[in-house]
């Protein structure tokens, strides 16, 4: 019995000239996959920030041991928010904004405490997490703004913002 699935359209059994399969490497592009949606960036930042928070958890014992359960819980919340982030739910992106804003405040405070106690490794780690949260805050606010304006998924057009007087 012959399997017709591997036959070409002309029935000869050989590949037709000019027929190619999909490219092995997908085309790389810079920018969001959905126009004006930056939730993918926020998701990646939250996952990396949660990992760094857990890696640097032992350093918090030196500065504020009472915060350790909150830091571990915060990492879990970040991973949950990263998993829930999508271009259809505004409330998740608002939660991303809130989490990123709180993250900037908390981890910049921890970085300053580590700086004043001369713990350079802790300072660099907390500073990196704080800056990551700052980028997450920017991208999540940018996405919320475009969602409120109904622009997520719509391409910009030339002359869209010109005055017609």
Q: Give domain limits for the chain.
A: 46-148
Please check whether residue 126 is in contact with residue 103, taking contact to mean a CB–CB distance below 8 angstroms.
no
Please check whether residue 136 is in contact with residue 49, taking contact to mean a CB–CB distance below 8 angstroms.
yes
Contacts of 42 (CB under 8 A, 6+ apart): 82, 85, 93, 96, 100, 136, 139, 140, 143
Phi and psi angles of residue 7, each rounded to the nearest 5 degrees, phi first: -90, 150
What is the distance between the terminal CA atoms of the chain, rounded to a whole angstrom? 73
Per-residue pLDDT of the chain in tens (165 residues, 90 and over written 9): 555 555 545 555 555 555 555 555 555 445 556 666 778 899 999 999 999 999 988 887 766 788 889 999 999 999 999 999 888 888 999 999 999 999 999 999 988 988 888 678 888 989 999 999 999 999 999 888 888 877 665 566 655 556 555
Instruction: Return the C-alpha torsion angle 60, 62, 64, 65, nearest 10.
Output: 80
């Amino acid at each position: 019995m012959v399997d017709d699935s591997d036959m070409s359209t002309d029935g000869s059994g050989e590949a037709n000239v000019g027929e190619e399969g999909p490219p092995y490497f997908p085309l790389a592009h810079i920018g969001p996959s959905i126009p004006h949606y930056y939730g993918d960036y926020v998701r990646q930042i939250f996952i990396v920030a949660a990992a760094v928070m857990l890696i640097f958890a032992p350093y918090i014992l030196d500065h504020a041991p009472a915060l350790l359960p909150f830091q571990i819980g915060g990492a879990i919340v970040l991973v949950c928010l990263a998993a829930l982030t999508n271009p259809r739910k505004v409330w998740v992106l608002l939660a991303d904004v809130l989490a990123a804003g709180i993250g900037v405040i908390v981890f910049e405070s921890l970085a300053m405490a580590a700086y004043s106690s001369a713990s350079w490794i802790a300072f660099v780690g907390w500073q990196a997490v704080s800056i990551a949260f700052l980028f997450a805050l920017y991208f999540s606010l940018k996405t919320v703004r475009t969602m409120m304006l109904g622009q997520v998924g719509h391409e910009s057009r030339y002359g869209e913002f010109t005055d017609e007087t």
